[in-house]
Chains A and B, each alone.
Chain A
């Protein structure tokens, strides 16, 4: 079992819709959770971090964390074609190492 798992996609949504990206992790002691966005041929950039159960909103982005279910998600409201990218979930495990999932490719169709 991979430490951090994501569906590779591609996930295709129409412009204006809500995109829902999911991530599960195996280490129950994980404390820090991140979402990075990576455009094709570019380097990853941080868009959200979350450390406690519940929701965290930043503009059109909402991160959701459920430690009991070992599940973290990212919702993108009013999706735009410019949101088309690969979204990487990253989790800091008990050993203090940041582990990335393989990423979910999102395509927003005009």
Chain B
């Protein structure tokens, strides 16, 4: 089915480990985004990408790394996970940018122990 898919759906890891969250979209949307959602903070932008090989920081980029070698994939890596990175992570895409409708994936619930 076309759309935006995230994997894994749930992930438990330990402090200090590297974790990669995957995001794949089949619409060929130019823009892709990573958000985290925490109680009391709403959705906060981590990184976004306007096209392949073009990425930029959002509100809370520290501790995260992204890459976009192909238009359809936008993985998010936590290089050394910390407990404060326990959160629900949403990937999203849009056709035209931040002023356009965002389509969200189903989310990844990450727990860092």
Interface residues of A (CB under 8 A from B): 4, 8, 31-32, 34, 36, 42-46, 49, 88, 90, 92, 96-103
- Cα distance, A45 to B3, chains bound together (Å): 13
Q: Are A97 and B59 in contact (CB under 8 A)?
A: yes
Interface residues of B (CB under 8 A from A): 35, 40-45, 58-59, 90, 97-99, 101-102, 104-107
- Cα distance, A43 to B101, chains bound together (Å): 14
CB neighbours (8 Å) of B106 from chain A are: 42-43
Q: Are A45 and B104 in contact (CB under 8 A)?
A: yes
- Cα distance, A103 to B39, chains bound together (Å): 10
Q: Do A88 and B102 contact each other (CB < 8 Å), given the known contacts A43-B90, A44-B90, A97-B59?
A: no
Q: Are B104 and A44 in contact (CB under 8 A)?
A: yes
Which of B40, B44, B99, B104 is the one whose CB lies under 8 Å from A43? B104
Q: Are A97 and B98 in contact (CB under 8 A)?
A: yes
- Cα distance, A100 to B46, chains bound together (Å): 12
- Cα distance, A35 to B99, chains bound together (Å): 12
| 7 A-B pairs closest in CB distance | A43-B104, A102-B42, A100-B43, A100-B42, A98-B98, A32-B99, A46-B101
- Cα distance, A43 to B102, chains bound together (Å): 11
Distance in Å: Cβ of B111 to nearest Cβ of chain A: 15
- Cα distance, A45 to B104, chains bound together (Å): 7
Which of A42, A43, A92, A103 is the one whose CB lies under 8 Å from B98? A92
- Cα distance, A98 to B40, chains bound together (Å): 17
Q: Do A43 and B42 contact each other (CB < 8 Å), given the known contacts A31-B99, A97-B98, A98-B102?
A: no
